[in-house]
Amino acid sequence: MIYGRSLFHIIASLIILHSSGATKKGTEKQITPETQKSVQCGTWTKHAEGGVFTSPNYPSKYPPDRECVYIIEAAPRQCIELYFDEKYSIEPSWECKFDHIEVRDGPFGFSPIIGRFCGQQNPPVIKSSGRFLWIKFFADGELESMGFSARYNFTPGDLHRNRVAFASPANIEDLDFLLFKVPITGIISE
């Protein structure tokens, strides 16, 4: 049943991505002020040198009732660093339930959440654990604000992250982390 549930989430994310107007862009396309207008509300982007994206109409007020999904894809073995400009304003609310930016660590709307942001304070620098970031900008029907401008670049992935090592009792001390130690006798002790 887990397979069916995952398949449902993938299909649902693709439908949301399609309905937001997002399209996959190749590495050859450059973002210019002229092309920025066409990718203002959602895009799948894969620019080798990084790039910039904004909320619709930035730095003017964003329109109401908008949902934009931006997916950033890095090359294999690279991670993404995302920076929000200091000129940042999203309608503030408790737990960012109304207008907000939601960032997830992966290519889907069900990837692990990094954070949900709103208000006047721009989010901290965000770093992905892998080669994708999923960013959703949501605006409800009331209280529009200036919005955001975000830039991203790519960095080499952490080669030691989530490393799995197999060790014999002779080199068990060399592991990055130790859940428990198995002595040569085979009895588990603390």
Looking at residue 44, its pLDDT comes to: 86
> Tens of pLDDT along 38-84?
345 888 887 778 899 999 999 999 999 999 999 999 999 999 999 99
Looking at residue 49, its pLDDT comes to: 85
pTM for this one? 0.64
Please state whether 122 falls in left (phi above 0), alpha (psi between -120 and 50) or beta: beta
Task: Check residues 122 and 176 and name the one with the higher pLDDT.
Answer: 122
- Mean pLDDT (the chain) is 74
Confidence label for 157 from pLDDT (cuts 50, 70 and 90): confident
Confidence label for 91 from pLDDT (cuts 50, 70 and 90): very high
Looking at residue 92, its pLDDT comes to: 93
The share of the chain scoring above pLDDT 70, in percent, equals 62
Cα–Cα distance between 53 and 108 in angstroms, integer?
18
Cα–Cα distance between 41 and 139 in angstroms, integer?
11
- 147 exposure class (CB count in 10 Å sphere: 0-12, 13-18, 19+): buried
For range 150-173, the mean pLDDT: 60
Looking at residue 72, its pLDDT comes to: 95
Cα–Cα distance between 110 and 98 in angstroms, integer?
19
Confidence label for 176 from pLDDT (cuts 50, 70 and 90): very low
- Strand 78-84 and strand 126-127: pairing? antiparallel
Please check whether residue 138 is in contact with residue 111, taking contact to mean a CB–CB distance below 8 angstroms. Answer: no
